[in-house]
């Protein structure tokens, strides 16, 4: 269970990306039925820590606090900066004991320099992706995703993608209800990823136009129906072939994949927040039968609906 979070303050730290982690994990949201973390900011050499914007932060806590952290977070900073040996030790110890390690933007370079990304997939800001791949050829760099989860290491792309990575981790550990509380307070979508159990989480992009706004809204309102390409294309006033081609170009995925993802999210919500049986959840989310729903849970989340409910049910935790 994710309880103790330590954010590393590294010389040259970028204030926004640093603040993203503070906002996601540093605020007590228990009054709104959200999470409360044991959150600490630590640095290798306590005292003034310079930021990328020319002012200092005074951090009084050393890295010893990170010895039993469930999550070590590394914000963006100067990619050319040397990594303090104590930071390397903290990160390697965290990986060895199975703790989560999360980087935002150029923080991936610290993870790579510490050896945590060797043989793994990772991402960083698109401006730095080519350099990360060049400097660390044993790292598979994907510049086209919001974040990458490989084992218990999460690397995010630039700036706001750090929010997506933090919410993904909260959802993975604590469930959708907790992630939704945090997202509402941050006034951001609760999930833009392709799936919480995938090694590489690919976003479902924001519409580049409004051409599919009405049809996707209708799809969300009618998930329980048998939504065929023929019917959807008629609603969009297109031929099936044109609809499928333009849908993928506009939303970055096929109509079927988009629909399955929304059905999965709906099923997760029902399992977390309702007492409906599995057959009823499958029917309301559009999977039809519990066996079909189990197939999609196993394929996308590597778990079963029953196990997911035991872990994340809000009713069970109440």
Cβ neighbours of 260 (radius 10 Å): 17
Q: Under 8 Å CB-to-CB from 159, ≥6 apart: which residues?
A: 16, 17, 20, 76, 105, 125
Cβ neighbours of 234 (radius 10 Å): 14
Find, among 155, 146, 79, the residue nearest to 121 by Cα: 155
Eight-class DSSP state of 11:
T
CA 237 to chain centre: 35
Average pLDDT, the chain: 89
Diameter over CA atoms, the chain? 64
Q: Pick 49 or 299 by higher pLDDT.
A: 49
Q: What is the rounded CA–CA span in Å between residue 84 and residue 271? A: 45
Identify the burial level of 229 via C-beta atoms within 10 angstroms of its C-beta, where 0-12 means exposed, 13-18 middle and 19 or more buried. middle
- Residue 63 pLDDT > 50, yes or no? yes
Confidence of residue 315 (pLDDT cuts 50, 70, 90): low
Q: What is the rounded CA–CA span in Å between residue 198 and residue 29? A: 28
* 245-278 confidence digits (pLDDT tens): 998 888 778 999 999 989 998 998 899 889 999 9
Strands (E) in 123-226, as ranges, are 140-141, 147-150, 153-156, 200-201
Find, among 187, 94, 200, 109, the residue nearest to 146 by Cα: 200
Strands (E) in the chain, as ranges, are 4-8, 38-42, 47-50, 56-59, 71-74, 100-103, 121-122, 140-141, 147-150, 153-156, 200-201
- Residue 192 pLDDT > 90, yes or no? no
The DSSP bridge partners found for residue 140 are: 121
What are the CA-CA distances from residue 318 to residues 273, 307, 314 (Å)?
A: 11, 17, 6
What pLDDT score does 310 carry? 82
* 227-240 confidence digits (pLDDT tens): 999 999 999 999 99
Gyration radius (Cα) of the chain, Å: 21
- Please state the pTM of the whole predicted model: 0.66
Find, among 92, 73, 84, the residue nearest to 49 by Cα: 84
């Amino acid at each position: 269970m994710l309880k103790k979070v330590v954010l590393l303050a590294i010389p040259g730290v970028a204030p926004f990306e640093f603040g993203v982690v503070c906002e996601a994990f540093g605020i007590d949201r228990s009054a709104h039925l959200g999470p409360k973390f044991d959150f600490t900011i630590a640095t290798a050499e306590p005292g003034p820590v310079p930021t990328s914007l020319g002012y200092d932060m005074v951090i009084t806590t050393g890295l010893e606090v990170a010895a039993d952290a469930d999550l070590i977070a590394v914000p963006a900073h100067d990619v050319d900066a040397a990594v303090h040996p104590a930071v390397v030790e903290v990160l390697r110890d965290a990986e060895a004991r199975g703790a989560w390690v999360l980087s935002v933007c150029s923080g991936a370079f610290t993870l790579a320099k510490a050896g945590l990304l060797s043989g793994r997939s990772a991402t960083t800001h698109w401006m730095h992706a080519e350099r990360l791949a060049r400097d660390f050829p044993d790292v598979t760099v994907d510049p086209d995703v919001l974040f990458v989860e490989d084992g218990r290491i999460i690397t995010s792309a630039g700036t706001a993608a750090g929010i997506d990575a933090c919410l993904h981790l909260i959802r993975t550990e604590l469930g959708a209800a907790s992630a939704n509380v945090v997202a509402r307070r941050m006034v951001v979508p609760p999930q833009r990823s392709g799936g919480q159990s995938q090694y590489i989480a690919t976003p479902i992009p924001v519409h580049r136009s409004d051409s599919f706004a009405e049809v996707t809204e209708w799809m969300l309102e009618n998930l329980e129906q048998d939504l065929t390409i023929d019917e959807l294309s008629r609603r969009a006033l297109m031929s099936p072939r044109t609809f499928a081609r333009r849908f993928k170009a506009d939303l970055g995925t096929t109509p079927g994949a988009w629909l399955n993802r929304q059905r999965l999210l709906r099923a997760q919500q029902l399992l977390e927040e309702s007492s409906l049986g599995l057959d009823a959840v499958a029917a309301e989310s559009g999977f039809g039968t519990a066996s079909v729903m189990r197939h999609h849970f196993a394929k996308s989340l590597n778990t079963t609906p029953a196990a997911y409910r035991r872990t994340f049910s809000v009713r069970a935790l109440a």
